[in-house]
Structure 1
Amino acid sequence: MRAEKRFLSLDSFRGLMALSVMVYHLRVSGSFTEWLLFRHAEVFVSFFFVLSGFVLTHAYGRSAQFNFRKFFITRTFRLLPLHLFMLGIFILLECGRYMAAQKGMDFNNAPFSGKFAPSEILPNALLLQSWTHLTNPLSFNYPSWSISIEYYTYMIFALIVSIAFGVRTWVWVTTVLVALALMHAGNTFFTIESLRGLAYFFTGCLAYAVYLRLPHPSRAQTWLLTTLEVAAVTAGLIFVINDFAAKQLWASPLFGVIVVIFAFDGGAVSRLLAGRGFGFLGKLSYSIYLTHAAVLFCVVSAFMVAKKILGVDIAPVIDGTRYLDLGNVLLNNLIAVLVAGTVVLVSMFTYRYVEMTGQSLGRALSNTPSHSGPVLRPDTEA
């Protein structure tokens, strides 16, 4: 039955796109990090929102007895432990920068200033940094800007599911259209990050509503799903590597269609993505996404120290961006691969000891006796 379905290919997409975002933030001269796909990979964050909306609607959106308390606890302990752990890591790294500056090390900006100012710590801890114009959404662990939006969007979703059972779909449609309209109009009242999150997340909710209404293809129609999957991937790649007006607006319907196609897990591309290796990356996706900025910070800092010691510019600044450059294309590609591998290794640790620990605690707390009704448990991580 569909209610019991696990979306294997969508899980794998999450891992691949988390890696792509990591490569987007890594700049190594003359390496694969400079491929056009990775230079535009920031748009994959929009796909994360769509996918989260789809998966949470599958898990909770059709429940007649929605348990807000249980949802709040499990979602909080799904996102917050790793986020707070990485915020603590960045504060420690900033302390390290401060001590290095005291010994004469030069940095692009003074320690504990700008986006690392102490005033940004509390908004980050509360996941509010992307919701106001008074805070910097890219402060401290900059990828967490989207986690800030996603967390409170979860709660908006839960509120809608709790009180608008009969008209949920219409509320989702309205939210998407209003958010996209405000983005197109150049709204300045709401943050652009919040509008993007709301538009894409509830596009995912609508995508699930469409998925439910489509007939499930038979095994004999594998060729049709394979054709649709190849077409979807091709369209997605063309969309990602090209810049054009209203790209952020078109991301909403395009990613929604792609998610619906791959939700059936029926084509050859889906079978490939359902493999153990891709599934492993999908499992680590949240850790990859939240830990990579700290790993990149440490790698770049090591190159800057080596540059000062060796007197060779292996960490040049080009057009305001810090690159890594060992002066050889093969070595540069090797460095990029090693950095990516390091991120995966660190993510294996944080997944096992931070994510899983937090989720276990959340399940224990959510299962304590309460007067609320039962709730469906999500079978795919969001």
Structure 2
Amino acid sequence: MEFDFLKPIDKEFLELIKGFSSQQLGSKVVFHTSEDFPDLNKIKIAVIGVLENRGEVNLSSSVDLAHIRKELYGLFPGNWNVSIADLGDIAAGNTIEDTYFAVKKVVSTLLKKKIIPLVIGGTQDLTYPLYRAYDDLEQMVNLVSIDRKFDFGKESDSISSGSYLTKIVIDEPNNLFNYSNIGFQTYYNSQEEIDLIEKLFFDAYRLGDISNNISLAEPVFRDADLVSIDLTSVKSSDSGIINPFMPNGFNGKEICSLARYAGICDKVSLFGVFNHNNTKQESVLIAQIIWYFIEGFHYRSNEYPFGSKENYLKYIVPLDVDELIFYKSNKTDRWWIELPVISNTNNKLKKITLLPCSHEEYLAACNHEIPERWWKAQRKNIF
């Protein structure tokens, strides 16, 4: 059974949890213990630790998630109606590939059960087996990474936290429809990598642009399946990470806002936080990132792709050659743009009919400016 890969929560930690008040989050979570495994039929979010750090030489050789759990379960939840289970940890295998296999099996099973895995790494190369967990679902995958760099590597390189994206792009089956990077810092990325992002019609948003207007990220998350956070995207003064030292990056408030955007988006089915160094300082921020994701999940509106177009106002913008069709939600005032699906392309794309966008992009279209995200999605659809 896939869940045999999961180690139960340590008894000493469970004793610590018993000392928490009934109002704290730890008293409202179901734990995988040596005697009992949670009833997954009653669970919406499953916390999983992955004790694998071999994908990054700068991180400590072992992963200890006790500090993160202590900080997380010591927080007070909002007025949530969310059933949460902590399924324990996946230990590092004899090889890193063994760990990937276990992660893929566990996460794939949870996805099939419509449970959102909330994965705490470990190194960010674990994003690769998370992506592969969608293989059996027969769908295209949109990956959003909050990261200071794109994590491309040479095709011949072994997979690592700095090269996993190359493996995602080139490996079969190729289920990646779109990759979006939020918060890249230009000086950490070669011009060839930046050009490759454009060539593949991927999306990338600079740190400064998102920091100046964080709402730009909301439509990006709305179309995501998998969200992966590299904690080194946060500046060291806020994250507590000293190795590597990051003078620039998101601040604590911004990264928590991004996590809440990810949680509130109906399509996001998998969330992970990676590349931390087991320190107590980092644990406080990671716990709050996870808290905000769960907070966002509680406020999901179940709009597209689960809602009906009857709940939207339709706007038609005529252009010189064609027309663009926009939809505005009556419930949340969020915007989408219609993406025509080419019938002779991959059948997996037929589910993608509306593309999230912003009100500003609708106004730009009224001035005959075609939204860049619509154009890129069309190019991927054609080719």
Taking structure 1 as the reference length, the TM-score comes to 0.26
Q: Which structure dedicates a bigger proportion of its chain to helix?
A: 1
Whose relative contact order is higher, 1 or 2, with alpha carbons under 8 Å and at least 6 apart?
Answer: 1
Of structures 1 and 2, the larger Rg is shown by 1
